[in-house]
Structure 1
Amino acid sequence: MDKINSSRLLWIILGVAVVLCILAIAALGLVYFALNLPASSPSVRNGGFAPDFNLPSLSGQNLSLSDLRGKPVLINFWATWCYPCLAEMPLLEESYQKHSADNLVVIGINEGDRLADVETFVQKENLSFPILLDYDFEIGDHYQLSGYPTSIFVDKDGIIRAIYLGEIPPSQLEKNLRLIGIE
């Protein structure tokens, strides 16, 4: 009988030890996760300020959103592997050409592609608006992107007036441009 009780006691102790180990590992994982969260950034939403950025362009110069304050800006996040991104580029170029006299600034921010791939595409499509390079997705992450393409319409005061996820239809593009003062 004593042998059965001591065997049972041993199994209980082992079970408690295993449970405590699992709880300790889970707690360490939660602490690690909490310590490695990125610094919280303000929510990117309609009516909020567009977060500033400073990125290199294909021309080699850096461009900051804050440099464009006073002008309406269309920011388009895209990638060369994204078919809808590539399909909407001629529309964005057309809109840029049509409204540049109205001070519209169109910026394409490429997310993570190789420089040679971006240059090839831009030359092939004869894009004239600035293309910025976000090699490490930092700005895309800061803007809390959930997919590509994403177009963000910023008014002259730096306020986001519209966010559009996906290939934007011409009528929606014109509607969103009106929201930032482009008729």
Structure 2
Amino acid sequence: MFTGIIEELAQVTHITKDKENLNITIKSNITGELKIDQSVSHNGVCLTVVDINDDQYTVTAIKETLDKTAIGTLKIGDHINLERAMKLGDRLDGHIVQGHVDQTGICKDIKEEDGSWRFTFEYDPSINNVTIEKGSITIDGTSLTVVDSGKNYFSVAIIPYTYKHTRFKDYQIGTEVNLEFDVIGKYVSRLMKIS
């Protein structure tokens, strides 16, 4: 379980293919606090630490993860949003984030406003995920509030701190991102279909 509050913007240092899997090595300031078998959110994707070497650690993304997320688009040198699982009793500063990506989206528009940025993302509505204005959305592991919502798109407003300390500073029009929709909204949507 995660909160969507990014702990660190780390860097991908090595990527190797192993059959249908991808081993991704990351250089991070929090590596010394990690242990083998620990879950860490990587751009919103919950992956398990499989190796630690000095200030770098490795995770493995299996075919299922590569098929359903944008994690396979990472390249050596790319920044990656990291968050460790929350501790029982911690404040929930973002919202409930499972680290299970629902689908990917595409950055369609970036507007620099007076002191902030507005990013608009488009997604495939046929999977039946929804956003609502003032609801929560997780983009590459970052917990955000939806400011504008439509059938197949939504916008979020990014403050300077978030822009500087997450992957948002690297996004361009056409960037593919991982989306995790609000878990409560997913349950409500499912219940509405059943009844």
Per the TM superposition, whether the score is higher than 0.5 is no
Is the radius of gyration larger for structure 1 or structure 2? Answer: 1
Structure richer in strand, relative to its length: 2
**Greater helix percent: which structure?**
1
TM-score by length of structure 2 reads 0.24
Structure 1 length normalisation: TM-score? 0.25
